[in-house]
Every structure is written in structure tokens, then in C-alpha cells.
Structure 1
């Protein structure tokens, strides 16, 4: 074939192929399986506690919020990767169940802050305790294997 008709390898392809060859696909597949297994375990734990998985995730998002001040509905919508109006409806249902309370932001009356009630705290603590036990039992070894086998960012 004449040189002008030869196919050229795109620049950087060899480097990408070499990086892909260093990926431990069995470890990555195993980790994904164990992640899904953990999520199924956690979702079932939420149901056993009388919550939907999304309600459990919302409680966790409210309790685990790290910015100054309590989270708002918008913060929880972002945490759950849902639309604001969906988060409003979720918070309405959770408030009716006595899991959360709403407090008007003292600095901005347009904002509503979210806090867990004693009932919400109790349910979250019970589910979280079981989830931590399950993570210690099953998921951590796969994660450690995956992280050990993955190429460093500067190697990819």
C-alpha cells in the first residue's frame, strides 16, 4: 500500500492502549459486583427499617452535610442527583413521617434548612451501623485490591 494510503495510528493511542493493559479488569468487575451487592444490602436494610432507599439516602445526606449550616432542599437534591421539585416532595413525605424538620434560615427567610428528628436519627443510626458492618465484612477487600492494581494518575 502506498504511504499516502496507509492508516495512521492516532497520536496517543499507544499510550492509552498501554494504560488500558495495566487495568485489572477482574478486580474492577469484582469491585463493581461487590458495590452493587452492598447497595442491594443497604436498600433492603432501609426497607426493613420502614424507609425507602431514597429516604435513607436523604437522611444520610442531611446528617453528613459538611458545609456550614444545615442543608437546604437544594443541597439534598444535588446530593441525591434529583430535581429540586422531586426533593421537595421527598422532604414533604419525610416530614409527615416525622423523620425531618424544616427550619427557616434566620439569615434568609426564602431558604428552608433541614434537620433530622430524633426518629430520623434513630433510623439512620440503625441502618448505618449495619451498613458499616457489611462494608467491613465484604467490600473493603475488593476496594483495596482495586486501588492497589490501578495505575497511578501520572501513569495513565
Structure 2
């Protein structure tokens, strides 16, 4: 069965997509630099944030963390190993099922994440209005 043909994009839509991609990349570059300045890799920072920001609880399984980071399970195990070595997270066996292991932040991990998150929050305050405007344009406003 043939797919329905999508209408061609206008020049303005291409410009909006490019501007949005540029704004996102600028924020990601800020994030990468902030993580490195704090002494962690961008992926380690993302892992700390994914653990702290997990819906409904402050600990995750390696599988849940892998899903949040969109990485392979074995890669996530290596990442957690490095975070444990850096004393930023610890592993804790489930009380209900000893086969299940959770990963949670240490006090040191909490402090590091707090500093990084504050810096990110400030950067989002600065660039947020531009990103919101671009999102509005991508959603159909000002496409013509």
C-alpha cells in the first residue's frame, strides 16, 4: 500500500526547522560544556538527571535508566559502574526482590546535579522565549 504523499515544505518551514535545530544545538552545547566544567561527561549528567527526575520515585533500575537514556543495557551498566566509582550514585538491592537492583544518587551526586540543574534552569530562562517562539512557528503559526 502506497503512503500518502506529504505536501512539500515551504522555504519558511525549512527556515523554522533550521532555526529550531540551531537553538536546540546551542542549548545542548551549553549543557555539554557545563557538564564537562563540573567534571562529568554529558552522558553522566544525563544519567543523574534521569535518576533524579524519574516519575514517582528517586531510584531506577538499570533497565529503566537505559530506556530514559536511549542506550543499550550493557552500555548503561558501564555508565553506572563509572558513576559508582565517582561516588555519584550507588546501587541498592530491592527489599521486595533481591534480584532487582536500583540505582540512586549519593549526596555528592545530588549536590553536583543541583549545581548543574541551576545553571541549566538559568540558561533555559534566557533561551526559553526564543525556543517557545520557534515551537509556535513549527506548529503551524507563521509557516507562510
Query: TM-score when scaled to structure 1?
Result: 0.80
- Give the Å deviation of 1:107: 1.3
Asked if the contact 2:20/2:135 (under 8 Å) is kept, the reply is: no
Change (3 A) 1:137 1:87: same
Q: Does 1:55 align with 2:41?
A: no
Q: Segments of 4+ in structure 1 off by > 3 A?
A: 10-13, 20-23
Q: Which residue of 1 aligns with 2:97?
A: 108
Distance 1:27 1:86 in 2: 35
Equivalent in the alignment of 2:7 = 17
Give the count of matched residue pairs: 139
2: distance between equivalents of 1:57 and 1:21?
35
Mapping 1:1-156, distance limit 5 Å: 12-13=4-5, 16-17=6-7, 20-21=9-10, 24-67=13-56, 70-138=59-127, 140-151=128-139
- The runs of 5 or more residues in structure 2 that have no matched partner are none
CA 1:108–1:23: 2 relative to 1, 3 Å: farther
Q: What do residues 13-51 of structure 1 show as CA deviations (whole Å, max 9, x unaligned)?
A: 4xx327x34963222211110111111111110111110
Give ranges in structure 1 of 5+ residues lacking alignment.
1-9
Give me the TM-score of the superposition, normalised by structure 2. 0.86
Return 42-51 or 21-30, whichever deviates more.
21-30
Q: CA deviation at 1:151?
A: 4.1
Compared CA separation, residues 12 and 77, structure 1 to 2 (3 A): closer
Determine if contact 1:104/1:113 at 8 Å carries over to the other structure: yes
CA distance in 2, matches of 1:11, 1:44: 42
